[in-house]
Amino acid sequence: MKKTISLREVAHSRSGEKGNSSTVSVIAYEMEDYALLCEQVTVEAVRRLYGPITKGRIQRYEVPRIGALNFVLDEVLEGGRSRTLAFEESGKALSSLMLSLPVEVDAGYVGRAQKMREAT
């Protein structure tokens, strides 16, 4: 039995800018979920989310020692902070879009929010 949850329950993310590119990390809360990230947080899946605003390449890099993936989205900031007309000019708010990605986990999987509730 599987269930679909949002990536937010499995990983955290931070986005930053480099010129007209955005860099978006995806970091597993638990190291044992890194394989799940590698399998499901693919370039294709990320393009489904960011495709409408990404005019260039999307690249994925693996960082196994810290259980993380790093995505680089080219030509996503309408020219970059120096010249963009986008209201949010830095792309620093783009990480939350990544965390909306649906992922499939075992039915018994306990997500981050429930773990946090149980811990407090």
Partner 1 sequence: MSAAYRSSRTLQGHKSVRLGAATAWSRDRFEPASALVAQGDLDYLCFESMSEVTMSAAQVARMENTETPPYDPYLVARLEPILRDCKARGIRIISNQGWLDPVAAAERVVALAAALGIADLKVAAVQGGILTDRIAGLGLRFIETGEPVADSRERIVSAEAYLGAQGIVDALAAGADVVITTRVADACLYYGPLAHEFGWSLDDAKQAGRGMVIGHLMECGAQVAGGYFADPGYKLVPDLAHIGNPIVEVTADRIVMSKLPKTGGLLSPATCKEQLLYEVQDPSCYFGPDCVTDLTQVAFQQTAPDEVEVLVHDAGLPKTPTLKVLVGLTEGFMTEEMVIFAGAGALDRARMTQTLLETRFREVGLQAQEIRFDYLGLNGVHRESSPPVTVEPYEVILRVALKTLDRREAEKLRREIDPLAVNGVAATGKWATSSPGSRVRPVVGLNSCLVPREAVQVTVSLHHSR
- Residues at the site binding partner 1, with contacts judged by CB under 8 A: 8, 12, 14, 16-21, 23, 25, 27, 29, 49-53, 59, 61-68, 70, 72, 78-83, 85-88, 93-94, 96-97, 112-113, 116-117
Minimum distance from residue 32 beta carbon to partner 1 (Å): 15
Choose between 3 and 61: whose C-beta lies nearer to partner 1: 61
Minimum distance from residue 78 beta carbon to partner 1 (Å): 8
Measured distance CA(120)–CA(118) in Å, rounded: 6
The phi-psi region of residue 5 (left if phi > 0; otherwise alpha if psi is between -120 and 50; otherwise beta) is: beta
C-alpha atoms less than 13 angstroms from C-alpha of 49 in its C-beta half-sphere: 21
Residue closest to 84 by CA, chosen among 92, 74, 73, 76: 76
Choose between 35 and 116: whose C-beta lies nearer to partner 1: 116
Residues pairing with 23 in the sheet = 16, 72
Minimum distance from residue 108 beta carbon to partner 1 (Å): 20
Choose between 41 and 67: whose C-beta lies nearer to partner 1: 67
Residue closest to 24 by CA, chosen among 56, 4, 50: 50
Minimum distance from residue 20 beta carbon to partner 1 (Å): 7
